[in-house]
Amino acid sequence: MTAAPNDSYWTSAIEQAQANLEPALDGAHTADVVCVGGGYTSLVTAYLLKKRDPSLDVVILEGNHVGFGSSGRNGGMVLHEPHLERLPKHGAHTIRFTYDETVRAIDFIDELAHEEDFDCELERTGYLEIALNSFHRKEQAAKQKACREIGIELDVLDETAMQQTIQSERFTGALVYPKAAMLHPGKYVAGLKSAVLRRGVRLYENSPVQRVRPESSAVTVATAAGSISAAKLVLGLNAYHPASGIGIVRDRAVTLFSFIILTEPLSERHWKVIGWRGREGYTDARRDHNYVRLTGDRILFGGRVQYHFGLESPPEIDKIFARLHETLLETFPSLHDIAITRRWCGPVAITWRRTPMIASRENDNLWFALGYSGMGVSLATLCGRALADLVTGREQPWSDLLYLKDPLMPLPPEPLRFIGFKAGYLGMRFMDYVERFR
């Protein structure tokens, strides 16, 4: 399996953690728990397992290096969403519990960074879902009301307040998530790597998994040069599940590519035009939206999700980045003289419901979580916390978690999956266009 290199702005922190790569797996081994994937999901799971029970033998297998995948490429926005569309089926308690635990991921990251002595530049800035038209404002008012009825407090900004927060002619209001945060993804994943090694987790890098063989009492995982038999297996591949070739849960999510550009540092002159003193991250309220944040004095601008077979960069990548830059300038025309100093892309996993799934296979020997759908920092952290309990039989604390209660149906095979996504994507673009006039 080949994949696009990690060219993100965050790589300097990851490269420091790479200075001494852990050895590749060689020979036959045993363990109590083996976690596949070197991202947030596996690292948080392994860390908590070992912290709670130092006698457990916990192993992580990573095909490249820790932080190579989505955990080292994302926008660093620690977000939460109430999933009100699932309220009629699952009730207020489940929705509120899931929301609160997603928010709790921010406290967990903060506490972990202090305990393990690393700085991931966590900023509790809040987050804005920005309205671009009157229809968005009506939808946001209804969403705020529905959230308040189940005990979730979100704020609403009118156009005047919005312009005092971030100035753009496109922005007409916003729904405010005051508990969201921003962080440095590379420093978070590098800090997690140091933490698991300090706790005694065995980590093997440059060890892509070729086969997984579940059995009644153990699961055997094989790489090119070795194997591990363990009582429990955790698959934390997320966006790499569908293309991994492992053959397990490949049909619950699609791998899409998301694109990010980063500006050079803005001058004080530019900040006077834009404002943005509160440093809130934002997305706009369209279905096909952009996600935007500050990192230092730079603006990170992401979006333009594309369906792409495989994990290598799409061939039309220059055109996609050019269109993303055009959208940045449509939003902030005063940045016409600001250079783009970094651009990168990578796979994300999206489910048809745009919510993740946690489940087990093979008599609870094999657990997995996938489909973070653009909220990977918070949701992968949350799922890692849950998996650390679930693989050791402690299901009760998570019995009300939405992502465990409603399994995803399998997606159709290709090319029907591709056709379905393209039709859905065009439908979203059409609805975004129509709503401009409602």
Look up residue 15 and give its amino acid: E
- Nearest-angstrom CA–CA distance, 138 and 61: 48
Pick the closest to residue 275 from 129, 169, 127, 164 (CA basis).
Answer: 164
- Nearest-angstrom CA–CA distance, 153 and 48: 31
**CB contact at 8 A, 186 and 67:** yes
Q: What is the pLDDT of residue 354?
A: 85
Name the superfamily (CATH) of residues 11-74+186-253+353-413: FAD/NAD(P)-binding domain (3.50.50.60)
Using the Cα atoms of residue 167, residue 171, residue 173 and residue 174 in order, give the sign of their dihedral. negative
How far apart, in Å, are the Cα atoms of 117 and each of 7, 19, 69, 162, 197? Answer: 26, 19, 24, 37, 13
| Banded pLDDT at 358 (limits 50, 70, 90) | very high
Q: What is the pLDDT of residue 362?
A: 67
For 315, how many CA atoms within 13 A lie in the half-sphere containing its CB? 1
Interacting residues of 298 by C-beta distance below 8 A, sequence separation 6+: 262, 263, 264, 265, 266, 341
- Kindly report the number of other CB atoms within 10 A of residue 14's CB atom: 23
Read off the pLDDT of residues 76-87 as tens digits, 9 standing for 90 and up: 999 999 999 999
- Kindly report the number of other CB atoms within 10 A of residue 434's CB atom: 10
DSSP string, 306-369: EE-SSBSPPTTHHHHHHHHHHHHHHH-GGGTTPPEEEEEEEEEEE-TTSS-EEEEETTTTEEEE
Q: What is the pLDDT of residue 230?
A: 97
Decide if pLDDT at 363 tops 80: no
Q: Residue 251 corresponds to which tokens in the numbers above?
A: 């049909």
Read off the pLDDT of residues 201-217 as tens digits, 9 standing for 90 and up: 999 999 999 999 888 78
Q: What is the pLDDT of residue 2?
A: 65
Return the bridge partners of 298, or none: 295
DSSP string, 226-248: EEEEEEEEEE--GGGTTTSSS-S
Decide if pLDDT at 244 tops 70: no
Q: What is the pLDDT of residue 300?
A: 98
Q: What is the pLDDT of residue 420?
A: 84
* Residue range 297-315: mean pLDDT, rounded: 85
Residue 293 belongs to what H/E stretch?
A: strand 291-295
- Nearest-angstrom CA–CA distance, 349 and 339: 30
| Banded pLDDT at 351 (limits 50, 70, 90) | confident
Q: What is the pLDDT of residue 255?
A: 84
Read off the pLDDT of residues 366-403 as tens digits, 9 standing for 90 and up: 999 999 988 999 999 999 999 999 999 999 999 999 99
* pLDDT, the chain, mean: 92
Read off the pLDDT of residues 129-164 as tens digits, 9 standing for 90 and up: 999 999 999 999 999 999 999 999 999 999 999 999
DSSP string, 159-214: HHHHHHHB--TT--EEEEETT-EE--HHHHHHHHHHHHHHHT-EEE-S--EEEEEE
- Nearest-angstrom CA–CA distance, 276 and 226: 52
